[in-house]
Amino acid sequence: MDFMNKPITAPNKASTAPLTTASIKGPDDIWQQIYREAETAATDEPALAEFFNATILSHSSLGDALSYYLASKLASDEAQQAMLRTVMDRAFSTADIINAVTADIAATVDRDSACTLYLTPFLYFKGFLALQAYRASHQLWNEQRQSLALLVQYRISLIFAVDIHPAAVIGSGLLIDHATGLVIGETAVIEDCVSIMQSVTLGGTGKVSGDRHPKIRKGVLIGPGAKILGNIEVGEGAMVAASSVVLKAVPAHAVVAGVPAAVVGDTRCAEPSQAMDHYFKCD
């Protein structure tokens, strides 16, 4: 297929400078960079030219491409692709949602040392893809379309091994790294610029109903395997060490570790989520 001759979808060719996270102004900047990277990738690996054409080069915008890709990934007999595409199209045409998508891609490239292309999280990182699919399910939940929202959640959990309740409230600029085994409960809140590693649980305790899940404030870093349970707050700029079990509130800019977790020090920067600094000094 002649994927290089699609003037209706090609970005502004005058914009050739490499994109940096500092230069991002909006979804169009991200989209232009992804499109250029897909063109290069299709040329470098002809065996995947059809794949890059279907997922990127035949689309006119970031939202359009993401809608197509998620609908095709999540589709099943119960959740048919055409129906999911309608849901995704509407979600990713919403300014707040597509701006959050942009911030999530930028955060991933900025913080993940294994990620050097903007194309990479879009196509290959299930943490990023699961988070964006959650955004569509959250929109449905807020519109009182709970059954459809829960069906989308179910498909996300099967395809990506990530379980995010559609009622959870999640900000933008998140990195969900590796993602396998992540669980985020119904009344959880995650603010902007948070980084979360694999096998993290933001869960409740017992059979308590109502507001029962953690509140994660801006700039927090949560290490792999951490379990944060109950309606407790992890303060701004805090860090939860790997495999910790957190059962009580964490002060801002504190480092907690252990089972049960206790404060073991202070973070070395204002937002450990940005630095991805998992270090803490053991006395």
pLDDT, tens digit (0-9, with 9 covering 90-100), for 92-103: 999 999 999 999
The answer on pLDDT for 7 being more than 60 is: no
Q: Which position has the higher pLDDT, 55 or 6?
A: 55
CA distance 66 to 25: 19
* pLDDT at position 222: 98
* pLDDT at position 8: 36
pLDDT, tens digit (0-9, with 9 covering 90-100), for 201-217: 999 988 888 999 999 99
The answer on pLDDT for 25 being more than 50 is: yes
Domains of the chain, earliest start first = 22-162 (1.10.3130.10), 168-283 (2.160.10.10)
Residues 181-217 as b/e (b if ≥16 CB within 10 A, e otherwise) read: ebbbbbbbbbbbbbbbbbbbbbbbeeeeeeebbbbbb
77: alpha, beta or left? (left if phi > 0; alpha if psi -120 to 50): alpha
Average pLDDT over residues 114-132: 97
Instruction: State the amino acid at position 72 in one-letter form.
Output: S
Mean pLDDT for all residues in the chain: 91
**Of 215, 217, 219, 210, nearest in space to 228 by CA:** 215
